[in-house]
Chain A
Amino acid sequence: LAKTTQPISMDSYEGQEVNITCSHNNIATNDYITWYQQFPSQGPRFIIQGYKTKVTNEVASLFIPADRKSSTLSLPRVSLSDTAVYYCLLNDYKLSFGAGTTVTVRA
């Protein structure tokens, strides 16, 4: 049973904000929510991690509501180089990758 559910694909244009929502209805108390970015033939790259409320770093923001049953990754002002697959994961210890979201940024 998939632990997380996210859209299969999203299209955007350069300069826009991209928001990817992930559902995780059965999140455990000790689960953190972690997002990775993966380019073709490269290893997943850590983007951001959070437990509750809002987390922001230099590349993204992560919004987590109080019930923690979903989370939203926000990528501000995307560029062509942000075209990649984005994975939402619950990591209690090992990472169980489900189907990620392919984000395509167009000029």
Chain B
Amino acid sequence: AAGVIQSPRHLIKEKRETATLKCYPIPRHDTVYWYQQGPGQDPQFLISFYEKMQSDKGSIPDRFSAQQFSDYHSELNMSSLELGDSALYFCASRSRSKNIQYFGAGTRLSVL
């Protein structure tokens, strides 16, 4: 079965640089969620999109933005990167008919 695809799997950036993370949801899933998991921490909800519109917002810094495109894939844009942004970033998708989120393998971002 198709799963949530995230790219890239690993990303290394310098401080103050920008990064773009991509998420391709499971086919026919219309809702996408982004989570951040710092070292030794639990995942924290960042933002979500339903039918290409932002549906909820969590603890997402103002330096971050995201959008969902017409093909339902989503991108998380991160600017002015800080050392504290180093984390695993997970994307999850969900269909309207089932209240279950399925997670991707994540993108590991390292800010040096």
Contact = CB atoms under 8 A, between A and B. Distances in A.
Interface in A81-107: 87, 91, 93-100
A43 B106 contact: yes
B106 A94 contact: no
Interface string B76-102: 000000000000101010000001111
Nearest to B91: A43
Contacts, number: 53
Contacts of A93: 48, 55-56
Nearest to B104: A43
Contacts of A36: 103
Given A41-B88, A44-B90, A87 B42 contact: yes
B: interface residue count bin: 20 to 34
Interface residues of A, number: 20
A76 to B, nearest CB: 22
A45 B33 CA distance: 15
9 contacts: A34-B99, A41-B106, A43-B92, A46-B100, A87-B42, A93-B56, A94-B48, A97-B45, A99-B42
